[in-house]
Structure 1
Amino acid sequence: MSIYRYTRGTMNGILAIEKPSGLSSSKFLDKLQSVFSNSVVFEKDLQAAKELKLSQLKSDTKWTEQRIANKVKNLKLKMGHGGTLDPLASGVMIVGLGSGTKKLQYYLTGCNKTYKTKALLGISTTTGDSEGEIITKNPVDHVTKEMVLNTAEKFVGDIKQTPPIFSALKMNGKPLYDYAREGIPLPKAIKPREVKVFGIDVHEEDSLSTDHEFVKLESQLDENGVPKEHQLANNPTLNDSPLYFSREYSEKSGTEEETKVIPKAFAEGEQLPEKLPMIHLTCDVSSGTYIRSLISDYGRALETSAYMVELIRSRQSAWELNKNVFKMEDFTDRDPRVWGPVLEKVFQDGDKVILEDLFKEYTEKVKSEDEAKEIEESTPSDETKDVTVSESELPKKRSIEDVE
């Protein structure tokens, strides 16, 4: 008998899972949904959902029986997320399952997040990261470590920020990134939003380092070897948005929140080095903060430009990497008898759990269960035991002389 019995309706709630870089949030969520929908852990929950859907379709639609059967057959677990991550980004993704999807609004709008990010100085791009096209190139030789360190405080506090056009925000019902990709001019300017930056830590040990793995972005060339015009020719870039410093810094320094810092230009014959200097930041921010925009503004504040090359969401609310955040491998590589009860414990206790401890506990329980089962199967029952009798207990063989 298993140490854990799944009961119908128990597997609903909130979990956090680590999204890898290189995969969109929607595709990652589809993969998780498929893993859960095909697992014995959710077998009864999925069956209950199918029975409910079958009842609803039979009473509320005029569909044919075959169409209803196909709809029910292809049904997957109800799932949603508490905030997307760009394909380039990795880290904490909050997932709601079943009735847990009703609790996602807080994670979408009301919680704080921590990001670890790396950026290269000297280039700005259409997207604000390494997946975009080059817009500008600016000198970097004037930037000192002291400048990088001192710039952080300019963005800490209540601050206005313009979201990038490559974002899912909608204008007149159309996502901004569609305007950008189709080359259609925006009907109006992107409105700056109020966000809060609680803190920016500059990793001084590799500040302005060129000893890193990131390759400098190169312009796309046409058939004649001439750099192509970037796709935002008809729309504003992050460089066109106002540059704001925080209210707290402006009050302290006696300057205006909206400022003008003109990036330096190359002298004749100057060009960027092959390895661009890197800045490495850890940022604690409110919901709604775009790190790509923050990086772009940081570069402009240094009188140059910058684009993001790495982004890790290490914390969202109280969910933290290496503490209470699952990896996909926990569900694909571990025994369901282990991750099933661990996941239910997370649904019950939320972000208070320590996953490493839970996995250790249930792995030991499953191991003990398997050992007990193995012993039970190898021990003969009373009905099947071989009866062995010692030689002294056998009747003695009588000789002819004894008979006579």
Structure 2
Amino acid sequence: MNGVFAINKPTGITSAQFLAKIQHIFTSSSVFSKDLAQLRGAKVEQLQREGQKASRRKLRKVMKVKMGHGGTLDPLATGVLVIGVGKGTKKLQNYLSGSVKVYETEALFGGATTTGDVEGELISRAGTIHLKKEDIDSIPEKFIGHIKQTPPIFAALKMNGKPLYEYAREGLPLPKPIETRDVQIYDLKIADDTLSTDHKYEFIKNVDCDGENLEEKLATNPTLNDSKVYFSKEYCDKNGVSEDYDVGKPQPLTDDEKNPQFKAPMLHFTTRVSSGTYIRSLISDIGRALNSNAYMVKLIRAEQAEWVLGKNVFNIEDFEERDEAVWGAVLSQVFQQGGENINDIASLFLQTEARLKEEQNHEGATCGSQEGDIIDAEQQPEEKISANSESKDEASHDELNTKKRPLES
């Protein structure tokens, strides 16, 4: 089978690790055994034609189901992970370069971290007491549209062969500015619980780096302090301001905010964005635009292109807990019809389970009926069975046994 499907990636695992887990399930299943056998057979024939020995090393690529994904999710993140299988991997480039994605995210105001999320280390604190609802309401207009983003300094990027985070940790300026990327924010909806402190998240703690407080070590780093916040081109054109508008310095901490028990206000929004958009950078820019900081604590990719959570996206439990015949049939339908034509995958599973059960019951009833006929014939008194009819019944008995074999195999 070949095609594209989507699955809900859980938190706490990398996209590559999760893909390997699914690949193991598929490779070990009977669903893909015929495809793999054909691929291995074709590879062996090719090697033999070339006068080569079919070693395990040369057959390695056809020992597992070929798979790839159409856009990485951070370990912290959950949600839609698009996966290509077999020839379907050739379609993944469409998802990597041009697909629209929808994210729901939660963040905390008042801090910046090395990675832009809760899995990093705290590098600066800022005040939050000054934040008001009218400030939050101004955010969508400033960021919706065509916008420039600066990837996080601690992203997995290099400059002159050296990771960006090493410059930052050493307190060194970058040899040149980080190149911005052009992205598009199609929509941004702020949730009603934004600025609420009634949440489960504790503020991230500070750590030491090489015997120094990391926040103090990076406080004077020019790369971190001189990075710009960009508003959308549409907002800037409308209001006659520069795209890299000077948002000013973050507000200092109050005594209340320095208290370890202080509960930071939350930022919660849903956004529809183009490929290549850093949600962590968007969160950071929103925090700085409000003269504070912000870092991500939760991220859900709710949609990618035609794949939508709760509509046409699998869960890992579908492959781990359901019968292979069931998930294999559903996966085949998704491959054939495409995600845009699957409106309720949960109902599709129920329908498939009911259909397969009905087919099994029908086969069982047919087998039972045939066996009953044979027993009745055998129980007839011998004197009532002529030589001709006996011969005919034996032929019928052999025919019935022949018909039964495929059901038993």
Same fold (TM over 0.5): yes
Q: Does 1:365 align with 2:355?
A: yes
Equivalent residues, number: 376
Identify the match of residue 213 of structure 2 among 211, 227, 242. Answer: 227
Q: Does 1:46 align with 2:36?
A: yes
Find the aligned partners of 1:334 and 1:157 in 2 and give their Cα distance: 44
Cα shift readout 1:251-286 (whole Å, capped 9, x = no counterpart) = 122211101221111357851552211010001100
Aligned letter for 1:52? A
Could you tell me how far 1:55 is from its partner in structure 2? 3.9
Cα shift readout 1:173-208 (whole Å, capped 9, x = no counterpart) = 77756877999975543200111000100001x111
Find the aligned partners of 2:99 and 2:205 in 1 and give their Cα distance: 37
Query: What does 1:141-180 align with in structure 2 at a 5 Å threshold?
Result: 141-169=129-157, 171=159
Cα shift readout 1:133-184 (whole Å, capped 9, x = no counterpart) = 0010111100012211212211110000001134345556777568779999
Aligned letter for 1:259? Y
Could you tell me how far 1:79 is from its partner in structure 2? 0.8
Find the aligned partners of 2:34 and 2:170 in 1 and give their Cα distance: 45
CA RMSD of aligned residues (A): 3.1
Structure 1 residues 61 and 139: CA distance shift in structure 2, 3 A: farther
Could you tell me how far 1:54 is from its partner in structure 2? 3.1
Structure 2: runs of 5 or more not aligned = 381-409
Aligned letter for 2:190? V
Query: What does 1:187-206 align with in structure 2 at a 5 Å threshold?
Result: 187-204=175-192, 206=193
Cα shift readout 1:277-299 (whole Å, capped 9, x = no counterpart) = 10100011000100000000000
Give the secondary structure class of the aligned counterpart of 2:362: helix
Aligned 8 A contact 1:126 1:238 in 2? no
Find the aligned partners of 1:304 and 1:61 in 2 and give their Cα distance: 68
Find the aligned partners of 2:172 and 2:50 in 1 and give their Cα distance: 41
Find the aligned partners of 1:117 and 1:331 in 2 and give their Cα distance: 27
Could you tell me how far 1:371 is from its partner in structure 2? 2.1
Find the aligned partners of 1:195 and 1:293 in 2 and give their Cα distance: 12
* 1:94 counterpart residue number: 82
Identify the match of residue 195 of structure 2 among 183, 192, 208. Answer: 208
Find the aligned partners of 1:89 and 1:142 in 2 and give their Cα distance: 30
Find the aligned partners of 2:277 and 2:153 in 1 and give their Cα distance: 14
Aligned letter for 1:114? V
Identify the match of residue 242 of structure 1 among 205, 208, 228. Answer: 228
* 1:13 counterpart residue number: 3
* 1:6 counterpart residue number: none
Identify the match of residue 78 of structure 1 among 66, 76, 82. Answer: 66
Identify the match of residue 384 of structure 1 among 351, 375, 379. Answer: 375
* 1:356 counterpart residue number: 346
Aligned 8 A contact 1:245 1:257 in 2? yes
Aligned 8 A contact 1:133 1:230 in 2? no
Normalising by structure 2, report the TM-score: 0.83
Aligned 8 A contact 2:123 2:214 in 1? no
Q: Percent identity?
A: 49
Aligned 8 A contact 2:123 2:219 in 1? no
Normalising by structure 1, report the TM-score: 0.84
Give the secondary structure class of the aligned counterpart of 2:129: coil
Cα shift readout 1:301-354 (whole Å, capped 9, x = no counterpart) = 111000000000000011100001111111111112111121111111111212
Find the aligned partners of 1:176 and 1:39 in 2 and give their Cα distance: 43
Give the secondary structure class of the aligned counterpart of 1:141: coil
Could you tell me how far 1:20 is from its partner in structure 2? 0.6
Structure 1 residues 111 and 56: CA distance shift in structure 2, 3 A: same
Give the secondary structure class of the aligned counterpart of 1:77: coil
* 1:271 counterpart residue number: 258
Deviates more, 1:236-245 or 1:337-346: 236-245
Identify the match of residue 258 of structure 1 among 244, 251, 254. Answer: 244
Aligned 8 A contact 2:117 2:297 in 1? yes
- 1 or 2, which has the higher helix percentage? 2
Give the secondary structure class of the aligned counterpart of 1:95: strand
Find the aligned partners of 1:378 and 1:196 in 2 and give their Cα distance: 64
Deviates more, 1:159-168 or 1:18-27: 159-168
Q: Does 1:34 align with 2:34?
A: no
